[in-house]
């Protein structure tokens, strides 16, 4: 270990400067789900942000809790051939401007589910 480096201190990989504790006004662990007042480390030189493993787990837990409280629709999975099918409620499709025959993209979500996004033409 370098003599100028202190034990139990996080250093910026880019600047090799000790990172300072800060609180981010918000942080999106998951796109579209901003979490307010997130403790993090920040490089005073390049302003790079770092979350420790403990901080990341706390933000993930806060994100999960917020997602559980969000409005949603409950649907039963059905099958079509060898695929599972989820029906999109008319009200939601209409609100998002989604129509039959249009394409969507499906993204896995931390092994807990998935996000469906419409593809803009």
DSSP state letter for 71 = -
The CA distance from 30 to 62, in Å, is 11
* Each residue's pLDDT tens digit, 48-104: 999 999 999 999 999 988 887 777 788 899 999 999 999 998 888 887 888 999 999
Contacts (Cβ under 8 Å, ≥6 apart) of 111: none
Q: Which pair of tokens denotes residue 77?
A: 């999975």
| DSSP-assigned beta bridge partners for residue 34 | 28
> What dihedral do alpha carbons 41, 45, 47, 53 form, nearest 10°?
-30
Q: Is the pTM of this model over 0.85?
A: no
Cα-to-chain-centroid distance, residue 24: 15
* Each residue's pLDDT tens digit, 12-24: 999 999 999 999 9
How confident is the model at residue 86, as a pLDDT? 92
Cβ atoms 11, 5 nearer than 8 A:
yes
Give alpha helix (H) positions in the chain: 53-69, 90-96
Please report, for the chain, the start and end positions of each structural domain, with discontinuous segments joined by +.
Answer: 20-69, 78-118
């Amino acid at each position: 270990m370098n003599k100028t480096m202190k034990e139990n201190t996080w250093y910026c990989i880019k600047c090799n400067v000790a990172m300072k504790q800060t609180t981010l006004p918000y942080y999106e662990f998951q796109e579209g789900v901003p979490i307010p007042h997130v403790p993090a480390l920040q490089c005073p030189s390049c302003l790079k942000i770092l979350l420790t493993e403990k901080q990341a787990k706390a933000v993930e837990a806060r994100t999960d809790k917020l997602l559980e409280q969000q409005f949603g629709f409950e649907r039963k999975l059905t099958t079509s051939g060898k695929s599972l099918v989820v029906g999109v409620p008319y009200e939601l499709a209409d609100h998002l401007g989604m129509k039959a025959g249009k394409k969507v993209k499906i993204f896995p979500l931390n092994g807990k589910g998935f996000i469906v996004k419409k593809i803009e033409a």
